[in-house]
C-alpha cells in the first residue's frame, strides 16, 4: 500500500530524492518549505492540523507523478499569497519568476466560484478555468490541491462536503480525465461519491467485501494460468490483479446493470517491455481462452484522445468466468496513470517538456470548446454514442486516423476534421471513387472531402449525418441569425410597439418616409432588419412618429418592463454565465458600452476581455470566445470613441453643444485633417447605446458633417 498522507518535510524530501537528482533544486525546495512553514506558523486547518500539513501533502501528491522541482516549490508555497499576505514580488525575489507566477496563477484560480446546475454552465466554467491557464502545471497543481482537500473533507459540514464533492465531479474530474491523469481522477471520483451518495458508496463497498475472497481466488488462479503460457514462450512479464474503482461500478449500476452483470470485476493487467510483446501476449491469451469479439479494443494502434494506450480484451477464463485483461508496456502504463503529467522529463530538458505539455493543453482546450456547445441532452447523446455504439476507423489522405461511429457519412467525417470543412463540403472521394454524401463509411476507408469556399450546408444533411457533433454544427449554422429572421423579428417587434403605443398602421405608413430619412434606411425592409438586429429599438422608431409625445413615465415603464431579473448580489457590470469573481476588462480597441452586443474573450493568465461583437479583433478567435451579458441592474458611464468626418474645421462648438441637456460627458477631442476632410476623434462618457445613438443622430444633423461612426482600433 502506498503512503497517502505525510506529516513532515523529511518524508517528502526522501520521496523527491528518488527522482530529483539535482542538489540545487532540492535545496530550493527545502528553502520553499522553510519559508512556507514560517509563514503558516500558528495557522490551523478546520481539521485541527497545522496548516503546513496541507501544502506538504499537496507537494507529496505531485511527487507521486514526478512533478518538476518548480511545481513542488509552488505547491509548498501555494497558499502563502492567499493566507499569509505574502506578495508575488516577495516570492519572485526569493524563488524566482517561474515559481512566483505559478503561485499567483493558483491563487487566481482559487478565487473563482464554481456553482451550476446545468451542463452548459458547468462546461462554461471548465472552459474558463482551462482557458485562463497559460501553464498546464497550474491545472495539475490545482488537481493535487483539490485531491488533498477531498481527502480531508470529513472535517467540513455536511452541506459543504456535498457542495465540494459536486464541484469536484462537475469541474475537476472531467479535467483530470481529459488530461489523462487517471491516478488523481479516480481517487477524486471515489471520494466525491462517498460524500455525495454515502448510501450507494457503502453498499458497493460492502458487496465488494462480501465477494472478495471468491474473486481473489479466481484472480490468483487465472494469473497463474496466464503466467504459465507466457513463460512457456519466454515472454518476460508482470501480472497484477486489478480492482475496479467504486465510482466506475456505481456508474454501471446507475446505467441499470445489476452487480452480477458487471463482468470486469475480475480484471488483470499484464505488463511487458515492448509494443510487439503486447500483441504476442494477446495472441497467446486468445489461443487459450475464448475472447468475446465485441469487447476487444486496440488502444495501442488507436490511442484515446487523452493519449491512453493499451490492449483490452475480455475472455472466458477459469470456470467460464469472464475476465477483463489489459495488456500494456510499462511506458504505456505511466501514460495511463499520469497522462499529460507523464511528460515531466528530466532527460529531454525542460523547454521540450513544457512545449509538449503546452501542445497537449492546446488540443485539450479545443475539446473543452466542443463540449461547451452542447446542451445537456446533446451531451448525453454524444456520451451514449461514444460508449454504446461501435466505431469505425477511417483515414485522411495524409494517413491520420479518425474514429467515427458506424454508419457515419463523409459529412460526419468532414465535420470531425473541422467545422469549416464541414460547412463547405460539396463532395467526397472515398478510396479514389466519387461517392454520394450519404455514403456509409467503412473501416479503413481513405476519405477526401471536396470543398467550395462559398458553399453552405443543406438542411437535408440533418437526416443523413450520424454523429451528434455534425448535427450540432449544422444546426448551429442554421441558427445563426439570418437577414430573413431579422426581418421577421423586426417587423414583429415594431408591430407590437405600434399596437402598444396605439399608433395605427395607416399613421405608420403615412410617416414612413420621415422614419426612413431620419434613420438613414433605404427602404422599409432595411428598417425591419435593423430593428431585428437591435440597431434601432422599436420605441425609437415610433418616437419619430409621435414626435416624442411620450411622457417620461411611459418611457421609464417601457424600459423596465422587458428587462431580465438579475440576482441582486452581482456586483460586476458584466455577467459571465454561471461564474463570478472572474476579472472582466472592457476592450480598449472597440470600447463597448451598455446595450452593445458583446462577447468575452478569455485571456491567458488574466481574465475576460469584453469586445463588441462587430470588433474585427475578435472575429478569428472563436475557441476562446465566451458569452457575456450586461448587468441590467447596474448603471454607469462608459468611455467610447467616435470618428466624425466633416467638410468644415469649425464645428467643434456644435459637437460640444449637442451634449448639453444630455448626460453625455466629453472626455477628449482630437482633430486632424485628411485630404479635404477634417476628422474629429471624440471620446465621450455615456450610459448606454440608446443615448449614444441619439447623440450620433444629433451630430449627423449638423450641416457639413459627412459621417459619424464609432471608432474601432
Q: Are 232 and 219 in contact (CB under 8 A)?
A: no
Strands of 311-316's sheet in order across = 238-241, 267-272, 322-329, 311-316, 297-298
Say if CB 684 and CB 665 are below 8 A apart. Answer: yes
Coil, strand, or helix at residue 129? helix
Long-range contacts, 547-554 (Cβ 8 Å, 24+): 550/501
Sign of the Cα torsion 136, 141, 145, 147 reads: positive
Q: Could you tell me the smallest distance in angstroms from the CB atom of residue 385 to Mn ion? A: 38
Do strands 322-329 and 267-272 pair parallel, antiparallel, or not at all (unpaired)?
A: parallel
CA dist 541 and 520 (Å) reads 12
What 3-state DSSP class applies to 609? strand
Q: Which residues contact 4 (CB under 8 A, 6 or more apart)?
A: 151
Closest distance to Mn ion from the beta carbon of 160 (Å)? 15
Q: Which is nearer to Mn ion, 82 or 654 (CB)?
A: 82
Q: Which is nearer to Mn ion, 145 or 423 (CB)?
A: 145
Binding track, positions 452-491, relative to Mn ion; x by CB under 5 A: ----------------------------------------
Q: How far is the CB of 263 from Mn ion (least distance, A)?
A: 40
Residues 6+ apart with CB under 8 A from 645: 677, 678, 679, 705, 706, 707, 708
Instruction: Closer to Mn ion by CB, 75 or 136: give it.
Output: 75
Instruction: State which residue has the least CB distance to Mn ion.
Output: 145
Nearest distance in Å: CB 583, Mn ion: 20
* Closer residue to Mn ion in complex, CB, 145/324: 145
Distance CA 658, CA 64 (A): 68
From the CB of 184, what's the least distance to Mn ion, in Å? 15
Distance in Å, CB of 38 to Mn ion, minimum: 17
d(CA 296, CA 241): 19
Burial of 413 (C-beta count, 10 Å sphere; 0-12/13-18/19+) = buried
Q: Looking at beta carbons only, is 59 or 315 nearer to Mn ion?
A: 59
Give me the least distance between CB of 37 and Mn ion, in Å please: 15
**Exposure b/e, 467-485, CB count within 10 A at least 16 = b:** bbbbbbbbeeeeeeeeeee
- The residue from 83, 491, 648, 677 that is catalytic is 83
Of 58 and 361, CB closest to Mn ion: 58
Helices (H) and strands (E) in the chain, counts: 30, 22
Query: 632 catalytic, yes or no?
Result: no
Give residues 499-558 in contact with Mn ion (rule: CB under 5 A).
none
What are the helix (H) ranges across 569-647? none
Query: According to CB under 5 A, which residues from 130 to 169 bind Mn ion?
Result: 145
User: In the complex, what is the shortest distance from the CB of residue 61 to Mn ion, in angstroms, rounded to a whole number?
Assistant: 11
In 3-state terms, what secondary structure has residue 309?
coil
Give the separation between CA 325 and CA 272, rounded to whole angstroms.
Answer: 13
Question: Closest separation between CB of residue 79 and Mn ion, Å?
Answer: 5
| Active-site residue, from 10, 23, 38, 82 | 82
Cα angle 695, 696, 701 (rounded to 5 degrees) comes to 95
Question: Shortest gap between Cβ of 78 and Mn ion (angstroms)?
Answer: 6
Contacts with 465 (C-beta within 8 Å, 6 or more apart), sequence order: 408, 409, 411, 412, 415, 471, 474
Name which of 80 and 641 has its Cβ closer to Mn ion: 80
Which CB atom, from 7 or from 673, has the smaller least distance to Mn ion? 7
| Contact set for Mn ion, span 72-111 (CB under 5 A) | 79
Closer CB to Mn ion, 79 or 497, in the complex: 79
Length of the chain: 713
Helix axes of 524-532 and 483-500: crossing angle, nearest 10 degrees: 90
Residue 581 near residue 628, CB atoms below 8 Å: no
Q: Is 427 helix (H, G, I), strand (E, B) or coil?
A: strand
57 binds Mn ion (CB under 5 A): no
**46 vs 401, beta carbon nearer Mn ion:** 46
- Active-site annotation holds for 187: no
Q: Which residues bind Mn ion (CB under 5 A)?
A: 79, 145
Residues forming the active site: 82-83
Amino acid at each position: 500500500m502506498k503512503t497517502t498522507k505525510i506529516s513532515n518535510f523529511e518524508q517528502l524530501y526522501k520521496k523527491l530524492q528518488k527522482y530529483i537528482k539535482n542538489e540545487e533544486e532540492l535545496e530550493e525546495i527545502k528553502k520553499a518549505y522553510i519559508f512556507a512553514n514560517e509563514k503558516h506558523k500558528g495557522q490551523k486547518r478546520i481539521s485541527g492540523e497545522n496548516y503546513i500539513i496541507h501544502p506538504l501533502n499537496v507537494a507529496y501528491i505531485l511527487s507521486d507523478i514526478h512533478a518538476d522541482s518548480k511545481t513542488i516549490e509552488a505547491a509548498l508555497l501555494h497558499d502563502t499569497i492567499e493566507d499569509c499576505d505574502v506578495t508575488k514580488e516577495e516570492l519572485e525575489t526569493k524563488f524566482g519568476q517561474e515559481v512566483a507566477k505559478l503561485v499567483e496563477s493558483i491563487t487566481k484560480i482559487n478565487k473563482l466560484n464554481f456553482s451550476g446546475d446545468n451542463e452548459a454552465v458547468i462546461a462554461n466554467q471548465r472552459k474558463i478555468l482551462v482557458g485562463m491557464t497559460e501553464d498546464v502545471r497550474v491545472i495539475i497543481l490545482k488537481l493535487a490541491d483539490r485531491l488533498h482537500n477531498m481527502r480531508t473533507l470529513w472535517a467540513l459540514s455536511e452541506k459543504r462536503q456535498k457542495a465540494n464533492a459536486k464541484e469536484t465531479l462537475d469541474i475537476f474530474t472531467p479535467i483530470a480525465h481529459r488530461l489523462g491523469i487517471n491516478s488523481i481522477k479516480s481517487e477524486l471520483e471515489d471520494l466525491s461519491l462517498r460524500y455525495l451518495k454515502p448510501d450507494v458508496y457503502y453498499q458497493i463497498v460492502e458487496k465488494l467485501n462480501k465477494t472478495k475472497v471468491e474473486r481473489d481466488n479466481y484472480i490468483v488462479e487465472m494469473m497463474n494460468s496466464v503466467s504459465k503460457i507466457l513463460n512457456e514462450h519466454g515472454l518476460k512479464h508482470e501480472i497484477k490483479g486489478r480492482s475496479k474503482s467504486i465510482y466506475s461500478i456505481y456508474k454501471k449500476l446507475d446505467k441499470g446493470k445489476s452487480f452480477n452483470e458487471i463482468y470486469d470485476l475480475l480484471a488483470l493487467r499484464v505488463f511487458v517491455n515492448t509494443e510487439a510483446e503486447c500483441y504476442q501476449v494477446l495472441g497467446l491469451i486468445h489461443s487459450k481462452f475464448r475472447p468475446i469479439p465485441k469487447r476487444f479494443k486496440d488502444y495501442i494502434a488507436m490511442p484515446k484522445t487523452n493519449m491512453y494506450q493499451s490492449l483490452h480484451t475480455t475472455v472466458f477464463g477459469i470456470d467460464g468466468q469472464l475476465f477483463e485483461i489489459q495488456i500494456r508496456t510499462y511506458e504505456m502504463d505511466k501514460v495511463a496513470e499520469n497522462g499529460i503529467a507523464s511528460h515531466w522529463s528530466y532527460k529531454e530538458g525542460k523547454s521540450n517538456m513544457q512545449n509538449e505539455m503546452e501542445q497537449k493543453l492546446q488540443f485539450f482546450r479545443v475539446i473543452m470548446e466542443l463540449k461547451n456547445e452542447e446542451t445537456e441532452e446533446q451531451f448525453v447523446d454524444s456520451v451514449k454514442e461514444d460508449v454504446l455504439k461501435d466505431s469505425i476507423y477511417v483515414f485522411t489522405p495524409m494517413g491520420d486516423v479518425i474514429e467515427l461511429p458506424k454508419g457515419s457519412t463523409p459529412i460526419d467525417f468532414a465535420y470531425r476534421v473541422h467545422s469549416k470543412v464541414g460547412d463547405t463540403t460539396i463532395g467526397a472521394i472515398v478510396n479514389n471513387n466519387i461517392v454520394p454524401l450519404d455514403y456509409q463509411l467503412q473501416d479503413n476507408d481513405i476519405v477526401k472531402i471536396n470543398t467550395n469556399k462559398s458553399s453552405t450546408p443543406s438542411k437535408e444533411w440533418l437526416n443523413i449525418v450520424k454523429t451528434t457533433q455534425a448535427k450540432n454544427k449544422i444546426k448551429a449554422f442554421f441558427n445563426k441569425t439570418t437577414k430573413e429572421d431579422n426581418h421577421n423579428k423586426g417587423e414583429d417587434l415594431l408591430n407590437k410597439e405600434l399596437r402598444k403605443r396605439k399608433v395605427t398602421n395607416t399613421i405608420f405608413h403615412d410617416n414612413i418616409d420621415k422614419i426612413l430619412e431620419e434613420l438613414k434606411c433605404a427602404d422599409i425592409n432595411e428598417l425591419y432588419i435593423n430593428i431585428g438586429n437591435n440597431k434601432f429599438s422599436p420605441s425609437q422608431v415610433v418616437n419619430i412618429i409621435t414626435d416624442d409625445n411620450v411622457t417620461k413615465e411611459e418611457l421609464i415603464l417601457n424600459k423596465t418592463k422587458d428587462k431580465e431579473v438579475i440576482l441582486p448580489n452581482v456586483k460586476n457590470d458584466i455577467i459571465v454565465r454561471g461564474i463570478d469573481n472572474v476579472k472582466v476588462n472592457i476592450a480598449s480597441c472597440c470600447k463597448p458600452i451598455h446595450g452593445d452586443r458583446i462577447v468575452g474573450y478569455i485571456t491567458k493568465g488574466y481574465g475576460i476581455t469584453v469586445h463588441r461583437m462587430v470588433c474585427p479583433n475578435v472575429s478569428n478567435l472563436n475557441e476562446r470566445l465566451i458569452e457575456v451579458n450586461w448587468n441590467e441592474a447596474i448603471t454607469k458611464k462608459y468611455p467610447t470613441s467616435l470618428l466624425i468626418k466633416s467638410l468644415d474645421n469649425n464645428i467643434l462648438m456644435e459637437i460640444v453643444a449637442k451634449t448639453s441637456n444630455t448626460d453625455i460627458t466629453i472626455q477628449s477631442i482630437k482633430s486632424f485633417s485628411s485630404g479635404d476632410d477634417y476628422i474629429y476623434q471624440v471620446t465621450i462618457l455615456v450610459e448606454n447605446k440608446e443615448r449614444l445613438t441619439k447623440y450620433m443622430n444629433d451630430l449627423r444633423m449638423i450641416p457639413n458633417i459627412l459621417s459619424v461612426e464609432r471608432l474601432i482600433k
